[in-house]
Amino acid sequence: MSTGHIIEIDDSTYKQYNSDSGDSEVDLMLTKKKKILKANMSLKSIFQIRNSKKQHSILYQSAIKELDVRNYKNAEHWCKEFLKTFPASYSMKCILAYTYRCLNDYKQAHLYINEAIKLKGKKSIVWYIRGEIHFRQCNYYDAIRDLKSSINYKAKINNIYMVLGISYHNINNNKVALKNFDIVLQNDSTNYLCLKYCAYIYEKQGRYLDTLKMLDKLLSINEKDSLILCYYGEILSKIEEYDNAIIWFTKVDSIDPENVHNLTKRAVTYYILQEYDNALLNFNNIIQMDTSNILAYYCKGLIYYMMEDISNSMIAFKKCIELYPNNDLEKMYLKDSRDYLSQISKVDYDLKWLSNYHELITKINRSTNIYHDKSLLFMRCKIYIELKDYYEAKLDLNRLFELNDDISFVYLLKKYSDFWSYLCEDYFSDFVELGYNDKFNIYMFKEHNVYFISNLHNLVNNYQFHESNINSTSGLVLSFKDNHLSLPRLYFDDITSRINCYYNNIVWKINVKKINSPDVFIKFIIERNIYEKKEYLLKYEDILELEGLGWIEYMSFFSIYLYGSKWIQFSIETKKDSIDIQIDYVRFTKSTEGNNHENRIYFPKMDHLLPFHMNNVPEAFEDKYFIRKETENLLELNDIISNL
């Protein structure tokens, strides 16, 4: 701020009266006159200072007033008027840079903040202003550099760690992002935006329990936030707590009944739980609100397919094709699932369009993520089989087994008997003694350690089988009502993978339909060699938890070490007529940290049938979840004024 200055008087008047007379009277008169002139000039200077201060204050207050009411163009005018009088004002250059930032004129904003940095480069606020401008421009590396400079100059600004955390998140450095968000939460444990970022990052890291903790904190602030409620349901689905997930999706429905995203998530969860009627009801509601929703039609087609209602399944698939006949796989895969679904529908709907298959293969091959995308791989594998290019199909099938712990995807390929014959060409044994009469069963036993109960259909006649069961991987399931089921001995020399060289879990795929007696029990038994036997008993209370769940994989034994064993034999005992249970297969799974735990129940996944990526809440509602207004207003005028 300029303070004015005192003007010295010219002493020529004194000089012209100077003489050699030594007249003391003249000297006194001149001295008196000089004092009067100096006094007058001092008063004039004081008035100049006061007027300058008044002018300064008016311009400054006018600029601030306009900024307070967001009249940024008017604020720009007053800032420039101020700088005409005081062109070297550091404070006003900061405020004008902020004004241009609010006008999205980043070129001018950088011009003035750079001038302010030249004037006072050790002030923390100038680096924060420039860092936040870079942040708004999505120049995150530059933003991080300037924000760290601001911190080095001892910044005391509320949102600096928030901006820094978001910047690190946006360059995929979530580890450092979380460190900054932790600092934010130490100072403000209820920072809504920060909690949402933490929840999203934890999900991306697979830390689902930590995600739920963040969502719990958010709901303690606003228990009716429908986006957070829906997100909670999504996380519960990820950890396979499907029944609980339904409860949360239903809460959202009571608040926001027209939320198609939530209805879709609930419908898919019902589908996984095999509650097909409820799933269809939700998809029908979606179609009522959006008659062109191809996802709803496609999922209806899948549900009818699972219910063995092929006619309605084909009607739904045909609707997908009618909605989007001219599709473009590359554009769809980046932006939308609609065209992808119609292509898949064509594969399932009309297997005669072989010329289209070659074109589709070409498009799929352009995907840079093909080697890690289960849906695209499954689609390509199926098309290769249709084209009888079995070598390429085998490569994709092997990769699918590498990516999937769940094997239920393979039953969609069972009908291609020539393909399975091709895969079994090099096997020396026909495994007749184990009941095998088709190549699919032989391949799954030899390569993937799966013994289908349907093999017993060829060995004994006193078991009741249900044929053409769509939920069975082999096509047949055993309805077990007897008191004992014993499988033939399985010799490890017949299995390609050396499962007797490491620890294994034993998994049964079962469907406990109904308990008929409180005296019910299920005893799982394994025998190996002659004198080694293990048992695992389920009592009434245990079985009650399984009743009505639909098809599940149940882990009867953990970490069985089979080293030195030549064979193993499985059997099940129960009280006759005490339970209605269906059995599909028993298999070995390698014990790992991920599946060697006390959660014995596993729902076979059905997402291989859903050839698309469904966005979660933060991705589907990005502008609402990461509220754009909040992320764009992390620099406040008060921050600038308080730190000038």
Helices and strands: H and E segment counts in the chain: 29, 12
Element (H, E) at 5: none
Mean local confidence (pLDDT), 610-635: 76
pLDDT at 598: 58
pLDDT classification of 413: cutoffs 50, 70, 90 = confident
User: What value does the mean pLDDT of the chain take?
Assistant: 79
User: Is the Cβ–Cβ distance between 448 and 455 less than 8 Å?
Assistant: no
- pLDDT surpassing 80 at residue 597: no
pLDDT at 468: 47
Q: Which residues pair with 582 in a beta bridge?
A: 479, 511
Q: Are strands 532-538 and 464-467 parallel, antiparallel or unpaired?
A: unpaired
pLDDT at 18: 36
Percent of the chain with pLDDT over 90: 36
* 34-38, 142-146, 403-407, 518-522: least confidently modelled range: 34-38
pLDDT at 428: 61
pLDDT at 432: 60
- DSSP conformational letter for 581: E
CA dihedral angle for residue 105, residue 108, residue 113, residue 119, rounded to 10 degrees: -170
Higher-confidence residue of 19 and 453: namely 453
- pLDDT surpassing 50 at residue 324: yes
- pLDDT surpassing 90 at residue 192: yes
Mean local confidence (pLDDT), 569-577: 89
pLDDT at 458: 65
In one-letter notation, the amino acid at residue 468 is: S
pLDDT classification of 590: cutoffs 50, 70, 90 = confident
- pLDDT surpassing 50 at residue 331: no
pLDDT at 558: 79
- pLDDT surpassing 70 at residue 498: no
Q: Is the pTM of this model over 0.85?
A: no
pLDDT classification of 209: cutoffs 50, 70, 90 = confident
- pLDDT surpassing 50 at residue 638: yes
pLDDT at 113: 95
pLDDT at 128: 95
Tens-place pLDDT, residues 64-88: 898 988 899 999 999 998 898 888 8
pLDDT at 214: 97
Architecture of domain 431-604: Sandwich (2.60)
Burial of 410 (0-12, 13-18, 19+ CB in 10 A): buried
pLDDT classification of 93: cutoffs 50, 70, 90 = very high
- pLDDT surpassing 90 at residue 355: no
pLDDT classification of 403: cutoffs 50, 70, 90 = confident
User: What is the b/e burial string over 239-273, where b = at least 16 CB atoms within 10 angstroms of the residue's CB?
Assistant: eeebeebbebbebbbeebeebbbbbbbbbbbbbbb
Q: Which residues contact 95 (CB under 8 A, 6 or more apart)?
A: 63, 64, 67, 79, 637, 640
- pLDDT surpassing 90 at residue 410: no
The Cα–Cα gap between 179 and 175 comes to: 7
pLDDT classification of 330: cutoffs 50, 70, 90 = very low
Mean local confidence (pLDDT), 244-257: 95
pLDDT at 369: 66
pLDDT at 325: 63
- pLDDT surpassing 50 at residue 48: no
pLDDT classification of 326: cutoffs 50, 70, 90 = low
pLDDT classification of 109: cutoffs 50, 70, 90 = very high
Ordered alpha helix ranges (H), 449-596: 540-544
- pLDDT surpassing 90 at residue 332: no
- pLDDT surpassing 60 at residue 25: no
pLDDT at 621: 81
- pLDDT surpassing 70 at residue 477: no
- pLDDT surpassing 80 at residue 193: yes
In 331-378, at which residue ranges do the beta strands (DSSP E only) sit? Answer: none
- pLDDT surpassing 80 at residue 476: no
pLDDT at 568: 86
Mean local confidence (pLDDT), 392-398: 94
- pLDDT surpassing 90 at residue 644: no
